[in-house]
Amino acid sequence: MSDCVFCKIVEGSIPSAKVFENESVLAFRDIAPAAPVHILVIPKRHLSTMNDAAPEDAALLGELLLVAQKLAAQEGIAESGYRLINNCNSDGGQTAYHLHVHLLGGRPLGALVE
Ligand code: 5GP
Ligand code: ZN
């Protein structure tokens, strides 16, 4: 997707603070962190929203969560706790239309929904 910011991050044409990468998944620090730890975990393949995931993507979706779990441990927030979020479409508050999971932690996060 030529106009997708996260695809450009995957390609390397937009810089990012990468914290994990393998064949199918990339994780990097959010440019506008909402908590001391704020990492985005994305599939390298472009999927616009959660609605675009198919049954064949089950392993990939699981991998996003397991990478987030591993990064939470690496960042030292596994025991204190953290939150994983996927925002889908406008009511969900999605602004970047390349599927991603937010890993947030390092402070008490308060109410789930504003
Ligand atoms: P959404 O609102 O779609 O769930 O989250 C998109 C997130 O992507 C936001 O937290 C925003 O700060 C982050 N973001 C948007 N553009 C960039 C960018 O170019 N680099 C990085 N590292 N994060 C970005
Ligand atoms: Zn994309």
Q: What is the CATH number of the domain that holds 36?
A: 3.30.428.10
For residue range 36-87, list pLDDT tens digits in order. Answer: 999 999 999 999 999 999 999 999 999 999 999 999 999 999 999 999 999 9
At residue 1, does pLDDT exceed 70?
A: no
**Ligand 1 pocket check for 88: Cβ under 6 Å:** no
Residues assigned a catalytic role: 100
Residue 22 lies in a domain: yes
Give the distance (Å) from ligand 1 centre to CA of residue 106.
Answer: 19
Report percent pLDDT > 90 for the chain. Answer: 94
Q: Which ligand is nearest to the CA of 11?
A: 2
Residue 114 lies in a domain: no
Q: 2 or 68: which carries more pLDDT confidence?
A: 68
Whole-number pLDDT of residue 113: 77
Which residue has a Cα nearest atom 17 of ligand 1?
A: 31
* Contact between 41 and 33 (Cβ < 8 Å): no
**Ligand 1 pocket check for 104: Cβ under 6 Å:** no
Whole-number pLDDT of residue 2: 76
For 87, the domain range is: 5-105
* Contact between 96 and 6 (Cβ < 8 Å): yes
According to DSSP, residue 66 is labeled H
